Amino acid sequence: MSEPLIGPREWLGSTGDIGQFSLRVLLDVWSLRVLHFFGETVRQAGILILSSAAVLWIQAFIIGLGTCGIEGAYFAQSQGAPAVAGIFAAWCDLREAIPYAFGYMMAAKIGTGIVAEIGAMRINDEIDALEVMGIDSMAFLCATRLLAGWIVLPFIYAAGMGVAYLASYIAVVKQVGAVSSGGYLLVFWQYQNPLDFLYSMTKAMSMATVIVLVACFFGYTASGGPVGVGKATAKSMVLNLVLVTLIGMLGTQVFWGTNPRTPIGG
Amino acid sequence: MAQIGGETIGRAVLPVRNALEETGEMMLLTAKTVSSALRPPYLYGSEFVSQFLFTLRICWLPLMITTFALSYGAPGLQAANILSVIGNLDRLGGFFVLAAVREIGPLITATVITGAAGTAITADLGARKIREELDALQVLGVDTVKNLVVPRFLALMIATGLFNIYAILFGLFGGVLAAVVHHQPLGPFWVTFFENTSTVDLWGSTLKTTIFGALIAIICCYRGMTASGGAEGVGRAVNQAVVGSLIAFGSFNYVFTQVLLATHPNILTIR
């Protein structure tokens, strides 16, 4: 307990290991070696839908309601332009808050779940058993999970965005009620376009890729009994938090930067 | 047939019943923790200090990076974009009262505390539970709530409240960078920030994060102390602790924001 779980030095040390590991997993998917285990991929995709989708949507609803809806409505009022709530909600939901909320929740739910599962397999020598049976354990455990995430998460994300839109609508129009339904929706849909959605999706899927890779790394290299699995889970969560935030910031800077892509102004 | 129907319904409501039971047990643990913290003897001093220092040590770097990066991206660049559309980019500082002090500072502090300190607490307590150390302590007559939960509860509460101040500071640095990127002079940023901020905002933010800390500590301690099922059990406990904490403080934040804005309407007036 006295030694710090995570320190800057340790981060730098394991960055190289994580990079090497991630490259191998990505190569397994890229070279389609993962398709040897397509059944396992589909099974993992099913697990993602059944166990994680509901939690991700609940998180999207809470953030869409509180942060984007309520605060947006009050912010718009304080600027003397209640109709601006539509702009605030559209940008907050689509560009910033929901990618972050999804990223944090994916790190919490999917990431730590993967570490717990693969870490326990490592501790119980199940991964060694896989190797002895001649199965490529990295492709079987990590590449399948990555591919499953890529198959399922875009759809969960798109549906979650819908949930957040609904929540913001409820908060701004039904609860605060400073703008009419038509006035809100007009501005709301004017201030977004398919390209924005594609950028937002790119952000969220980069987060998902990093989260799955980091989680697989910490699970695959866990050691030291039940304590080790717990520590690896905790470490992966901290690293994922930081990486999700950095990806979110870089995405905003690259995609929108100081060019807001608005339907008005120059 | 009726039998099968009943079973199906039973299985459908089982998760809800489990969730309600767990919530009830967490509330009992909260009550026990508070009463045990107030009642003498106060044996938890040294454990409290070590837990507090541990939280400070593992949280400061992730907190610094995340608050700065998030405030620069989300409220900084995007809000500056909205304000430049309306044509009052000089009011970015006023927006940061809402962003850094009222919403993003507290939420990001709680997220980092959950991810770094909360997971470590669950992993630690969960491992002790799996190795039956907690049972051994109870056999020895040691009160696990007083000696393990209370110091963590107090340490997380105080650390979260204090870290919030730093989150606000680093969030403001993010906003300053965004203003610089938009080629704005910094004078209006600081003027509108200090004009619009109020004592209510600051104590509301601090109170909110202190309660976040209490929620996180209780959920993480509960999940750790009820871990079962070997190595995977500890990992699963950490997973449930993080998910539960995120949902809990997210929902509480919604209620608190509503109550604060409704009871103190003067913090909404624009200055």
Each residue's pLDDT expressed in tens, for chain A with a length of 266 residues: 445 555 667 767 778 889 999 999 999 889 888 888 899 999 999 999 988 898 899 989 988 887 788 888 887 777 777 777 888 888 888 988 899 999 999 998 899 889 988 998 998 899 999 999 998 888 899 999 999 999 999 999 999 999 999 999 998 888 888 888 898 898 889 888 899 999 999 999 999 999 999 999 999 998 888 888 888 888 888 889 999 999 999 998 888 876 777 777 64
Q: What percent of chain B has pLDDT over 90?
A: 23
Chain B contact for A254 (CB, 8 A cutoff): no
Contact A71 B102 (CB under 8 A): yes
Main-chain dihedrals φ then ψ at residue A138, nearest 5 degrees: -70, -45
Contact B234 A95 (CB under 8 A): no
Q: How far is CA B156 from the centre of its chain?
A: 9
What is the distance between the alpha carbons of residues B171 and B192, in angstroms, rounded to a whole number?
A: 16
What is the complex's ipTM, to 2 decimals?
Answer: 0.84
Three-state secondary structure call for residue B27: helix
Shortest CA distance from A57: residue in chain B: B247
Q: Which residue has the tokens 């354990």?
A: A137
Prior bond of A263 cis (ω within 30°): no
CB atoms inside a 10 Å sphere around CB A193: 12
Contacts of A107 in chain B (CB under 8 A): 115
Exposure string for B65-94, b = 16+ CB within 10 A, e = fewer: bbbbbbbbbbbbbbbbbbbbbbebbbbbbb
What is the distance between the alpha carbons of residues B1 and A216, in angstroms, rounded to a whole number?
A: 45
Q: Which residue has the tokens 């660049």?
A: B77
Residue A191 burial class via C-beta count within 10 angstroms: exposed 0-12, middle 13-18, buried 19 and up: buried
Q: What local confidence, expressed as pLDDT, does residue A1 receive? A: 42
> Region B152-159: what's the mean pLDDT?
92
Q: B143 in the Ramachandran plot: left (φ > 0), alpha (ψ -120 to 50) or beta?
A: beta
Q: Which of A6, A104, A230 sits opposite B58 (nearest CB)?
A: A6
Nearest to B62 by CA among B9, B4, B112, B117: B112
Q: What local confidence, expressed as pLDDT, does residue A265 receive? A: 60
* pLDDT tens-digit series, residues B166-208: 999 888 888 888 888 888 888 888 988 888 888 888 899 999 9
Three-state secondary structure call for residue B131: coil
Dihedral angle sign, alpha carbons of residues B236, B240, B241, B246 = positive
Contact B116 A241 (CB under 8 A): yes
Amino acid at A204: A
pTM, whole model, 2 decimals?
0.87
Which of B16, B53, B66 to mutate against chain A (most A CBs within 10 Å)? B66
Q: Which of A232, A237, A249 sits opposite B242 (nearest CB)?
A: A237
Maximal C-alpha separation, chain A: 69
Exposure string for A101-139, b = 16+ CB within 10 A, e = fewer: bbbbbbbbbbbbbbbbbbbbbbbeeebeebeeeeeebbb
Shortest CA distance from A77: residue in chain B: B268
Q: How far is CA B4 from the centre of its chain?
A: 43
* pLDDT tens-digit series, residues B219-259: 999 999 998 887 778 888 888 899 899 989 988 988 888 88
Nearest Cα of chain B lies from the Cα of A251 at a distance, in angstroms, of 8
